[in-house]
Amino acid sequence: MKDISFVFKIVVIGDGRVGKTSLIQKFTNSTFKEDYTKTIGAHLSNYDNQINEDKIRLQFWDIAGQDKFHFLRPSFFNRSRAGIIVYSLEENKLGVESFKNIHDWYDEIKKYCGDIPIMIFANKVDLIDGNQVNESSIKELVEENKLLGYRITSAKTGEGVIDAFNFIINDLYKKFKSLSK
């Protein structure tokens, strides 16, 4: 893409196995793989987009959620313009733990990135009864931490994925477009 107007680095974090890589792949390539592949360190995915007359390059930094990669994380956060915290809606240990750990992920973004917009993606809605999602606890987190918002997603079915990513991208675009005038 020639004459890129904006480059936005977006860090995508959360516990291992919550679907960070799958969400990025669904958004950038419209693909979903059933088999789990552990992210080692971090994985960068570029995606070009256009809003109005402006060409935008998005750099999604998919950061490994496993503790053994913790020492690598600070360098991956550098120059991030936004953060996405992903957790699993599954009604099992992974779901419970990944929701509890949102605070830790939030603290990590704040520590290394400062005051950037952060969204929560509540992923894997396809694995539960969508009517059973406890949105009040998510809304409480969003309000308590002054987050940009949250979206209910499924990397497998694509539910909410495009809207979720576009919401944060449009927020960044509006912010940086107004600064460039």
Rounded Cα gap, residues 4 and 50, in angstroms: 9
Q: Which pLDDT does position 180 carry in this prediction?
A: 82
Query: Taking the chain (181 residues) in consecutive chunks of 10 residues, what is each chunk's mean pLDDT?
Result: 88 94 95 72 84 96 67 78 97 96 95 96 92 88 96 97 97 92 69
Q: Which pLDDT does position 94 carry in this prediction?
A: 95
Amino acid letter for position 56 = I
Domains recognised in the chain with CATH numbers: 6-179 (3.40.50.300)
Q: Which pLDDT does position 18 carry in this prediction?
A: 95
Q: Which pLDDT does position 25 carry in this prediction?
A: 94
Q: Which pLDDT does position 77 carry in this prediction?
A: 86
Amino acid letter for position 96 = V
Q: Which pLDDT does position 36 carry in this prediction?
A: 60
Cα angle 109-155-28, degrees, rounded to a multiple of 5: 75
Three-state DSSP class for 23?
A: helix
Closest to 151 in 3D by CA, of 174, 124, 116:
124
| Residue 10 and residue 58 in contact, taking contact as beta carbons nearer than 8 Å | yes
Rounded Cα gap, residues 2 and 106, in angstroms: 35
